[in-house]
């Protein structure tokens, strides 16, 4: 059994990690940590975990976490980097669900996250944990940077077009919408029910922290000009889900795009390609590790890709467990092959 620790198990992604790992046949949750809730049972904070009263929050100390084989950080940006060097030195593998190791350019990271990186020497080693792109490197990794939720939906949606140089990389538009859980569990006036319900708004139009992450990964697969993405996120009045509508201008007008996507993602457990003209829905992936995509040529020049995920599963905890499975040579779908929840 893999002894797993979860730092930050009080937030939505940490809670989702507990939910999925509890049913994982090869993982044992040996530590959950929270500075503010140390000494309290998890079930006292999360009512759906009434059967997990044996899980007690502890202080996130090295003494506790070095007893684990793998530690997940479901914490705010800037937390994992402070403990990761000691954990790696102790032989503990790390998957960070925040942004501490996603961006390779340290100056860019420090600009967007407004803090000095605590262990820049480890950033180059960290593997970007998108299995559909970096599977072999993830298998050998001791430090994985789990992708952001928005970037997962955007990158998977655009990857086949850019790899085959079928679109103009300098004119990409990512019009994205997320459920409220993407903003985290902390109290915030902007995410109160009365503020979000019956409302729809954009945010971060002048610049969002996921922009450099998206650009860097898409640039890594562009062999021609650098990718330039206009990324605009929106907040939806629902709990879970991301819907990304992606626009690109075609440089090849004859390619069968649906077939291209099916070939690119052939054998991928967690990417489903719909027929052209179909419209994926966020409710279809609720509670799953799936990314469902349809690609549509709406004119000779215009391509529209629709990409949906559950932001807490494929966009966070489920993808992190997929990475764990790869790191420990387990079946990739172990513990994360559930179908969607309806209604």
**Cβ atoms of residues 65 and 43 within 8 Å:** no
- Catalytic status, residue 149: yes
Q: What is the per-residue pLDDT for 186?
A: 79
Same domain, 105 and 158: no
**CA 174 – CA 214 distance, rounded (Å):** 10
Could you read off the pLDDT of 200-250 as tens digits, one per residue?
999 999 889 999 999 999 999 987 778 899 999 999 999 999 999 999 999
Same domain, 92 and 241: no
Q: Which residue in 68, 119, 149, 291 is the catalytic one? A: 149
Confidence of residue 194 (pLDDT cuts 50, 70, 90): confident
Same domain, 194 and 70: no
Within a domain: 159: yes
Considering only the C-alpha atoms of the chain, give the largest distance between any 2 of them, rounded to a whole number of Å. Answer: 62
**Do you find a cis peptide bond into 343, omega within 30 degrees of 0?**
yes
Confidence of residue 300 (pLDDT cuts 50, 70, 90): confident
Same domain, 12 and 58: yes
The count of domains in the chain is: 2
Which CATH number does the domain housing residue 274 bear? 3.30.360.10
Within a domain: 317: no
Same domain, 100 and 200: no
Which CATH number does the domain housing residue 27 bear? 3.40.50.720
Within a domain: 118: yes
**Cβ atoms of residues 27 and 4 within 8 Å:** yes
What's the domain range around 87? 2-125
Within a domain: 70: yes
Cα distances (angstroms) measured from residue 334 to each of 28, 57, 184: 14, 26, 26
- Mean pLDDT over 2-21 rounds to 96
């Amino acid at each position: 059994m893999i002894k797993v620790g979860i730092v930050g198990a009080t937030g939505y992604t940490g809670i989702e990690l507990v939910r999925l790992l509890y049913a994982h046949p090869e993982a044992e949750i040996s530590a959950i940590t929270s500075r503010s809730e140390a000494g309290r049972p998890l079930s006292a904070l999360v009512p759906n975990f009434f059967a997990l009263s044996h899980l007690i929050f502890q202080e996130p100390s090295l003494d506790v976490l070095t007893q684990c084989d793998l530690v997940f950080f479901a914490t705010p940006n800037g937390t994992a980097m402070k403990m990761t060097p000691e954990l790696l030195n102790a032989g503990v593998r790390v998957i960070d669900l925040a942004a501490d190791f996603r961006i390779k350019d340290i100056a860019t990271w420090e600009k967007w996250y407004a803090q000095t990186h605590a262990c820049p020497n480890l950033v180059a080693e960290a593997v970007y944990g998108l299995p559909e792109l970096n599977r072999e490197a993830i298998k050998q990794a001791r430090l994985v940077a789990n992708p952001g939720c928005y970037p997962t939906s955007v990158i998977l949606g655009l990857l086949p077009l850019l790899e085959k140089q079928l679109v103009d990389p300098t004119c990409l538009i990512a019009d994205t919408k997320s459920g409220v859980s993407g903003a985290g569990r902390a109290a915030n006036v902007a995410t109160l029910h009365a503020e979000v319900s019956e409302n729809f708004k954009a945010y971060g139009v002048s610049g969002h922290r996921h922009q450099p992450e998206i650009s860097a990964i898409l640039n890594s697969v562009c062999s021609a000009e650098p990718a330039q993405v206009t990324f605009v996120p929106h907040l939806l009045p629902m709990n879970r889900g991301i819907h990304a509508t992606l626009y690109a201008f075609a440089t090849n007008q004859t390619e069968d795009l649906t077939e291209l996507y099916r070939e690119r993602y052939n054998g991928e457990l967690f990417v489903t390609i719909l027929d052209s003209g179909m419209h994926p829905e966020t409710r279809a992936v609720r509670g799953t590790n799936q990314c469902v995509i349809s690609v549509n040529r709406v004119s000779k020049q215009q391509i529209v890709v629709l990409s949906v995920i559950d932001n807490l599963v494929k966009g966070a905890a489920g993808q992190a467990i997929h990475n764990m499975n790869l790191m420990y040579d387990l079946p990739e779908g172990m513990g994360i092959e559930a179908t969607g929840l309806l209604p």
